[in-house]
Structure 1
Amino acid sequence: MKENVILACNKAKEIDLVSFLSTLGYEPTKIKANQFWYFSPFRIERTPSFKINRIMNRWYDFGEGIGGSIIDFGIRYYHCSISEFINSYLGGRQVPYPDMGKIVQPFPKEPVLLVNSVRSLSTISLIKYLASRMISFEIARVYLKEVNYTNSGREFYGVGFQNNNGGWEIRSKHFKGSAAPKFLTHLSYGSDAIQVFEGFMDFLSFLQLNPATEKSRSYDFLILNSTTMISQAIPVLHTYHSVDLYLDNDPAGDRATGLIKLELPKAKDNRIRFAGYSDLNEYLCTQGIRTWTPP
């Protein structure tokens, strides 16, 4: 079953997004190289803020700060599950696949963040930064690395959290960014229960609040690294008996939580545990170190 879902998603992601939007009645207001600009299909607006990169076949809505593949678009547009979108809304629709041979003009390159080297966490300023987020060195050194990277031609360093495709989430006091490829991080220890977080700071905050859990490895963990990774996360979560969600208390977190629960009604929304705070790390920073009993 899991394999069929993954195959169906991968096949759907090959469909040309520009052509798909055309079947819905949306045409670009402006085309610049391989960037296709639209009025957002998600709301009424005066200035186009929705873009498709036709080379990557991915969309991004600047008004909401979200984006992704055709799967992410479909479940957002139709307010449905992944399977419902593929079977009910995409099934049978005559949408062409992109002919990449005809798309010859390269997409204008944006500044690329390049990782130069990775080493164990040791720089005092980074350790102090983590301490300001209430993350202890003892926990940080297990899951984080010190990353030297180049951004727009200049060298920097930050704490790095690696995803399962080799990309990095990088943070420091003055920087928040990613080194491609963007993907989720699945930490598997053989449990049938999994804890889900939006970002690695919330994951580390959970461990800070649950030191016994960190030592026993009694749970598996999934860190999305972005709410646009929901379609990649769903097949993973389907393999677990118990799913606990700790996503952000904001519209993006609401949407991601809703989409996961639509696919997995058994998933438990645990945001009540840090109600009144934007995320688990803010709760930790405000309340100080205190322990929880896992649900």
Structure 2
Amino acid sequence: MDTKGINKIPIPLFLESISIYPERKCNGYWMYKSFITPNQRSGSLKVSSNNLWIDYSLNNTGGTLIDLILMIYPELTVNDIVYRFNSGIFSFQQQSNSIAIEKKKEEDGLIILNEYDIFRLPYLLKYLTEERGISDIEIASRYLKTYLYRWSNSKKDYWSLGTKNCLDGHVLFSKNFKTVTKQGYTIFENLGAKSRIYFEGILDFLSFLMIYPEQELLHDYCILNTVNNLKKTFENLPFRRGTDQIQIIGFLDRDTAGDKATELLRNKSDMYGSKFYDYRSTFKGKDLNDFLLGKY
């Protein structure tokens, strides 16, 4: 997706996904209390039906969705925004008039109310099996939970599948939705394993287990949740187990971000004297879930 594609995403849906809601909806436009100059007491930011915005409290500054994201997240560049949408760090779907953007930080207000096994809701199981190809529910149940959650400014409860990461954050996903409460990688260890496999997302990991179920207990697994977490794993994951070197295996995405992460993983493995294997040549498509679904 390029900048033109990003700017076609409806601004009100983007703002709703990061828990920003209009003070009022009018015929053809939405009015928000300015979140750029938050000391404003009433709505001063207008989003028009042509998907452009203007903030009257900020010298009539306005523009496209990308311009707005740059105002909300001043640490980002346009290239950063394009990269995040295309790498899944900002995850979105434009289906059924819905959109979901990854939460920037835990303080944005997602509250986990309870967790259950993945058999709790049939429609989530149907999404997992029929739309993501994770057909062995018994295997999936060992790694996923069903979460009941709520946004802090809402009284409505929601359900998603998900898992925890190393910082006790939650990676949640369902149809047309993906978010994380606190960014971190996820580890699944097996006693005596002499190899560690890296994946970018939990669905890639589960896809691996659908393709190679006999491999489940033979390796440790590290799910990055975003390639930006790769360097963090080097601080806490040893490349040795006892006197043995751990083999490092990469099943990262077949894209520019995956290329860079794979090269970094290769170099770090070499530094620690561990053998590294890039297994991306063993599958077609952007990632393992695409390969499982035949999307290539």
The Cα of 1:110 is off from its aligned counterpart by 6.7
Query: Conserved in 1, the CA contact under 8 Å of 2:184 and 2:225?
Result: yes
The Cα of 1:257 is off from its aligned counterpart by 1.0
Higher relative contact order (CA 8 A, sep 6+): 1
Query: Conserved in 1, the CA contact under 8 Å of 2:200 and 2:225?
Result: yes
Note closer, same or farther for the CA distance 1:241–1:149 as it changes in structure 2 (3 Å cut): same
Q: In 1, distance between residues paired with 2:118 and 2:206?
A: 15
Residue 81 (structure 2) pairs with residue 62 (structure 1): yes
Q: Give the aligned partner of residue 289 of structure 2.
A: 281
Q: Give the aligned partner of residue 221 of structure 1.
A: 221
Residue 116 (structure 2) pairs with residue 114 (structure 1): no
Note closer, same or farther for the CA distance 1:185–1:156 as it changes in structure 2 (3 Å cut): same
RMSD: 2.9
Deviations 1:50-102 (A, max 9, x none): 8449xxxxxx9324229xxxxxxxxxxxxxxxxxxxxxxxxxxxxxxxxxxxx
Query: Conserved in 2, the CA contact under 8 Å of 1:205 and 1:284?
Result: yes
Q: In 2, distance between residues paired with 1:116 and 1:110?
A: 16
Where structure 1 has 5 or more consecutive residues not aligned to the other structure, the ranges are 1-30, 34-45, 54-59, 67-107, 288-295
Q: Which residue identity lines up with residue 65 of structure 1 in the other structure?
A: R
Query: Conserved in 2, the CA contact under 8 Å of 1:161 and 1:169?
Result: yes
Where structure 2 has 5 or more consecutive residues not aligned to the other structure, the ranges are 1-35, 39-66, 86-104
The Cα of 1:111 is off from its aligned counterpart by 3.4
Query: Conserved in 2, the CA contact under 8 Å of 1:237 and 1:243?
Result: no
The Cα of 1:258 is off from its aligned counterpart by 1.5
Q: Give the aligned partner of residue 257 of structure 2.
A: 252
The Cα of 1:262 is off from its aligned counterpart by 2.0
Residue 131 (structure 2) pairs with residue 124 (structure 1): no
For residue 158 of structure 1, give the secondary structure of its aligned residue in structure 2.
Answer: strand
Taking structure 2 as the reference length, what is the TM-score of the superposition?
0.59
Q: Which residue identity lines up with residue 234 of structure 1 in the other structure?
A: F
Q: In 1, distance between residues paired with 2:218 and 2:277?
A: 17
Q: Give the aligned partner of residue 133 of structure 2.
A: 134
Q: Which residue identity lines up with residue 268 of structure 1 in the other structure?
A: Y
- 1:142-291 aligned at under 5 Å gives the runs 142-151=142-151, 153=154, 154-180=156-182, 182-189=183-190, 190-214=192-216, 217-235=217-235, 236=237, 238-239=239-240, 240-265=245-270, 266-275=275-284, 277-286=285-294
- 1:15-94 aligned at under 5 Å gives the runs 51-52=74-75, 61-65=80-84
Q: In 1, distance between residues paired with 2:157 and 2:220?
A: 35
Q: Which residue identity lines up with residue 274 of structure 1 in the other structure?
A: F
Taking structure 1 as the reference length, what is the TM-score of the superposition?
0.59
The Cα of 1:126 is off from its aligned counterpart by 0.5
Q: In 2, distance between residues paired with 1:274 and 1:51?
A: 38
Q: What stretches of structure 1 move > 4 A for 4+ residues in a row? A: 46-50
Task: Give the share of equivalent positions with the same residue, in percent.
Answer: 30
Q: In 2, distance between residues paired with 1:158 and 1:225?
A: 16
Deviations 1:118-176 (A, max 9, x none): 01112100100110211121111111000011135242101011112211111111211
Q: Which residue identity lines up with residue 124 of structure 1 in the other structure?
A: P
